[in-house]
Amino acid sequence: MSRIECDLLVIGAGSGGLSVAAGASQMGASVVLLEGHKMGGDCLNYGCVPSKALLASGKAAHRQAHTQAFGVADQRPQPDYAAVKDHVQAVIGTIAPVDSQERFEGLGVRVIREFGRFVSPGEVEAGPHRITARRVVIATGSSPLVPPIPGLDKVPYETNETLFGLREAPEHLLIIGGGPIGMEMAQAHVRLGCKVTVIEGLKALGKDDPEAAALVLDRLRAEGVGIAEGAMVSRIGGQAGAIEVETKDGSLFRGTHLLMAVGRKANTERLNLQAAGIETRANGIKVDDSLRTTNKRVYAIGDVSGGLQFTHVAGYHASIIIRSALFGLPSKAKTSHIPWATYTDPELAQAGLTETQARDIYGVKLEVARFDYSHNDRAIAERKAEGFIKVMVFKGRPVGATIAGHQAGELISLWSLALANRLKMSQIAAMVAPYPSISEVNKRVAGAYFTPRLFESSFVKRAVRLVQRWIP
């Protein structure tokens, strides 16, 4: 067995692990990167990238069928599901070189294509190698959670790790789970000509603002997606092509294919964490605000650390680790400014607190500024005037923003910037957005915050009249 010593060992070549490895190596650290499966991890191969590529195909089909409002005759789309999957794989293939072993070796990283497991608090074994590192970063991500539903082990089902390999369109896709993954895949498939039913035990998009979620769900229902809420699954039966899902209230759903989209679980099974003195929690590895585990030489980032499960969070964690592990500087991860988006059409995005969360914290002192897409000229021109933005404000500073509408996932970045830097609404109002653009909704909601102060204030009106008397 060969022995390797390095400054930094990174376990997992997903987005977070790759960011740490690239940054540390280019800053002069000796870095070893372990990956026993695919470079790029879940995001590139089974998650963000293929799902957005599939959604893009669905959008193309939907646009083709809805052009009459623009003075162009509607056309019946003819989706070729196999060709759509070729598009998905082409998108993955275009991005893959950025995450490739060759690129990272070119950056000076030693890449070992093996899974890693701890054999002591300071040593990791990977195939024929035993590695000792000054610091270790666990970035193994997460996998689809498959709950022990009676009968599930006897029928074929898909997860996000297998769905993109399907070459024939499902005739009727049953989706268990009404979170972002479930709803995105529901809309993509219904737009590609499939019948789709979503079965959710609680509320669909239940972690988002209820008003924003309702807008998105209404659109999906209008497009033909069946959505059953409060439908706890009790049994699954049938066979390939004829699957049955029974719920506790006695309802029975029948379809040809089944997608499990009920959540994610942290990838910790292979790591032998006990040997390193690393504790876990129900949702992943236990970490402190600096992302350190109970073994002070080991960090955990991204999905495996048990927090928000987004690719951009893993990238943010990487920046925290670089500061702490390489320079020994204090650095803590925060969540107050982290945005997230669901890429349905319309999109749904959030940064900071929802209205409900903000009211629970700030009570009657909270103000909510709102602006509707129906007053945005670009949205009207594009026939995308459905939606709204609302910003939760406390003492002149935004504490959260909710957007449901066209390009919400793009617009939310400004509010992450505002939250991260504790900007005031006056600073957002001072921004100039090009006209006509969707981005004007961000400026206009800031204007809506000041409207009652400027145009409905008797004090302002008296001051203006007084000044006008004295101005020559």
Q: Say if residues 359 and 352 touch (Cβ distance below 8 Å).
A: no
303 is in an annotated binding site: yes
263 is in an annotated binding site: yes
116 is in an annotated binding site: yes
425 is in an annotated binding site: no
180 is in an annotated binding site: yes
177 is in an annotated binding site: yes
| Rounded Cα gap, residues 168 and 171, in angstroms | 9
CA atoms 89, 91, 94, 95: torsion sign: negative
382 is in an annotated binding site: no
Q: Is 30 helix (H, G, I), strand (E, B) or coil?
A: coil
Q: Which two tokens stand for residue 145?
A: 């959670």
Q: Say if residues 58 and 220 touch (Cβ distance below 8 Å).
A: no
12 is in an annotated binding site: no
Q: Say if residues 245 and 437 touch (Cβ distance below 8 Å).
A: no
| Rounded Cα gap, residues 312 and 450, in angstroms | 32
52 is in an annotated binding site: yes
DSSP character string of 383-439: T----EEEEEEETTEEEEEEEEETTHHHHHHHHHHHHHTT--HHHHHT----SS-TT
Q: Which two tokens stand for residue 179?
A: 């979170």
Q: Say if residues 12 and 34 touch (Cβ distance below 8 Å).
A: yes
182 is in an annotated binding site: yes
| Rounded Cα gap, residues 21 and 306, in angstroms | 21
| Rounded Cα gap, residues 163 and 405, in angstroms | 27
**Would you list which residues are annotated within the binding site for FAD?**
52, 116, 140-142, 303
**Would you list which residues are annotated within the binding site for NAD(+)?**
177-184, 200, 263
**Would you list which residues are annotated within the binding site?**
52, 116, 140-142, 177-184, 200, 263, 303
